[in-house]
Amino acid sequence: MSQRARGDARLHVVVTAGPTREYIDPVRYLSNESSGRMGFAIAAAATRKGHRVTLIAGPVHLETPDGVCRIDVTSAREMLSELRAAFRAADAVFMAAAVADYRPARRLAGKWRKKDAGEGRAVLELVENPDVLATVAKSKGARQVIAFALETGQGTRRALAKLRRKNADYVVLNDASALNATRTSVTILDEGGEVRRLENQTKGAVARALVGLLRRR
């Protein structure tokens, strides 16, 4: 039998990837080191398995995998709006994006100038962004939700707390070495704890393992 999903086994999988960018003024922004490679690898692996894939991507320099429907976004709020829309028809969501937790309280129309800041110091007021995943996963129904967590200490405990807070089925725990790297080590957890540990694997191999978590409708 073919390895590709057919009929009922063909799921609509939504993947988010990359960083978000939160503008201070027309030329400056807050962002992070995420390359988007993990999310793009998941999108590629899922489509190769025959699933229908929507990829919601922050600003990244990566080619869209064949057969994937890509929606580009910039900020966390745009990502939330596109994810809300895609979520309705989704069977599963991989939330691999590194969403900025805060954004500048105001986006200036003109450049922020040194003279506006005062005496050798500048204070940038930030406000909290919505938790994109928690917002949509509150009413997830039968959808499978996979969160990601990057932790620098007490990884398992913190990752499990995130899984509960965000109503996820799995959380993929990695450490800071995963950022912008080609190989990575991850631990997949469900609410009962460790499900699988993958050591020093390519992101493609991790992606295939993650797509393997998907259950049929």
**Where along the sequence are the contacts to ligand CTP (CB under 6 A)?**
76, 95, 97, 99, 101, 129, 131-133, 147-150, 162, 166
Name the active-site residue from 32, 167, 174, 200: 32
Neighbours of 93 (CB within 10 A): 27
Q: Could you confirm whether 200 is annotated as catalytic?
A: no
Judged by beta carbon, residue 36 or residue 112, the one nearer ligand CTP is: 36
- Residue matched to tokens 């070495």: 177
Q: Report residue 168 as tokens.
A: 């996820």
Q: How far is the CB of 78 from ligand CTP (least distance, A)?
A: 12
Q: How far is the CB of 115 from ligand CTP (least distance, A)?
A: 33
The residue among 186, 151, 15 whose CA lies nearest residue 95 is 15
Tokens coding 75: 């900020």
Q: Give the integer Cα–Cα distance in Å for 41 and 211.
A: 10
44/97 with CB nearer ligand CTP: 97
Smaller CB separation from ligand CTP, 149 or 188: 149
Query: Dihedral angle at the C-alpha atoms of 117, 118, 123, 127, nearest 10 degrees?
Result: -50
Positions marked active-site = 32
